[in-house]
């Protein structure tokens, strides 16, 4: 079995990561997750993309809601509301336990990566789930009313104001204290037989990962060694399957299509998987110097997740 590294954001990334986990041997998959969405709530560090991937790979995710744990209860959130605390970012009771555990260990001086690997092992996940950086990176978006923390825009304001600009504080800015690629991410990329960019939002899920100093260079090094990089489009028939990627691309003046996403990955990937609904875009993708792979890409159950994973791996290893 090949050793595979996947770059992932939240729900879409978690679905393909699960497909890859289903078809690969235990331990042959590493998922580098976006931490730009992380934010403190009630004094606790919440890592939404990491936790979505974790719960999905552990078989604990609420698949109907698309986030959090299945069978969750909300007593703590209700009590926090009674105490006058803001509860626009919903934290379930069992989910809260992870945030308490993570925050306590961080305050004790442990690395975010160490905690993530230990928690995954405790939940029975053989896949290595790797935060993109141990140091904080925070995605912010600029709207007509100014700059906002990502979760304020995404959850509290329900993605209503149009996004005019995106920044990744800690990666792109403050050069003296910038985040760095972790040794674990570096080792995973150096030892990969295939690299996959999951169908996550290219602007606020994949771009923060690539903004961490060292990661883009490590992917380029892998390509020079002959390792193929394959991405899957999160846009199908002009619409995002989940989340605001289509509206964000439109607001930023970019083409809202699989081809528009492919343009963002020029020079980074070797092949691009687009859905059958977008088959007519394949020649245009190939004119970018990227091999187009047309296949069913909408993941509705574990069988379709595994099927897409096999298609992606075939594109990586062909």
Is the residue at 77 inside a domain? no
What is the spatial distance between Cα 132 and Cα 130, in angstroms, rounded to a whole number? 6
Q: Is residue 170 part of a domain?
A: yes
Evaluate whether residue 57 is within a structural domain. no
List, for residues 57-100, the tens digit of each pLDDT value. 999 999 888 789 999 999 999 999 999 999 999 999 999 999 99
pLDDT of residue 1: 75
pLDDT of 173: 57
* CATH number, position 35: 3.40.50.10680
Q: How far is 107 from 292, CA to CA, in rounded Å?
A: 46
What is residue 177's predicted lDDT score, i.e. its pLDDT? 56
Q: What number of helices (H) and strands (E) belong to the chain?
A: 13, 14
Count of domains observed in the chain: 1
Per DSSP, the residues of 252-264 read: TT---SHHHHHHH
Q: Is residue 47 part of a domain?
A: no
Beta-strand runs (E) in 29-103:
29-33, 39-41, 44-46
pLDDT at 234: 96
pLDDT of residue 318: 80
In a domain, 94, yes or no: no
Three-state SS for 272-293 is: EEECHHHHHHHHHHHHCCCEEE
Give the HSE-up count for residue 72: Cα atoms under 13 Å, Cβ half-sphere. 23
* Domain-located, residue 83: no
Q: Tell me the average confidence (pLDDT) per consecutive run of 10 residues in the chain, 318 residues long.
A: 93 96 96 97 97 97 89 96 95 97 98 98 97 96 94 93 93 67 97 97 96 95 97 96 91 94 97 98 98 97 97 94
Instruction: Please report whether residue 82 resides in a domain.
Output: no
| Position 8 in a domain | yes
pLDDT at 61: 95
Torsion angle (degrees, nearest 10) of CA 102, 105, 110, 116: -30
Residue-range definition of the domain harbouring residue 255:
4-39+125-317
């Amino acid at each position: 079995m090949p050793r595979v590294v996947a770059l992932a954001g939240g729900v879409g990334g978690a679905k393909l990561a699960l497909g890859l986990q289903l078809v690969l041997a235990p331990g042959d998959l590493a998922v580098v997750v976006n931490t730009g969405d992380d934010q403190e709530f009630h004094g606790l560090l919440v890592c939404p993309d990491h936790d979505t991937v974790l719960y999905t790979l552990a078989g604990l995710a609420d698949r109907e809601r698309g986030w959090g744990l299945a069978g969750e209860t909300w007593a703590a959130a209700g009590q926090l509301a009674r105490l006058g605390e803001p509860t626009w970012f919903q934290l379930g009771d069992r989910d809260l336990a992870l945030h308490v555990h993570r925050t306590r260990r961080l305050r004790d001086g442990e690395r975010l990566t160490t905690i993530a690997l230990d928690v995954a092992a405790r939940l029975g996940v053989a896949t290595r789930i790797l935060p993109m950086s141990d140091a904080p990176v925070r995605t912010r978006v600029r709207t007509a009313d100014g700059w906002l923390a990502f979760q304020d825009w995404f959850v509290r304001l329900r993605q209503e104001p149009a996004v005019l600009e995106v920044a990744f504080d800690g990666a792109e800015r403050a050069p003296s204290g910038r985040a760095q690629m972790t040794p674990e991410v570096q080792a995973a990329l150096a030892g990969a037989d295939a690299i996959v960019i999951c169908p996550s939002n290219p602007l606020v899920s994949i771009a923060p990962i690539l903004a961490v100093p060292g990661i883009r260079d490590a992917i380029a090094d892998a390509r020079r060694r002959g390792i193929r990089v394959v991405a899957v489009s999160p846009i199908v028939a002009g619409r995002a399957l989940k989340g605001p990627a289509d509206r964000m691309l439109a607001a930023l003046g970019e083409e809202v299509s699989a081809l528009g996403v492919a343009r963002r990955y020029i020079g980074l990937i070797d092949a691009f998987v687009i859905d059958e609904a977008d088959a007519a875009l394949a020649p245009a993708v190939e004119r970018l110097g990227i091999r187009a792979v047309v296949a069913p890409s909408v993941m509705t159950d574990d069988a379709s997740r595994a099927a897409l994973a096999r298609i992606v791996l075939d594109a990586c290893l062909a």
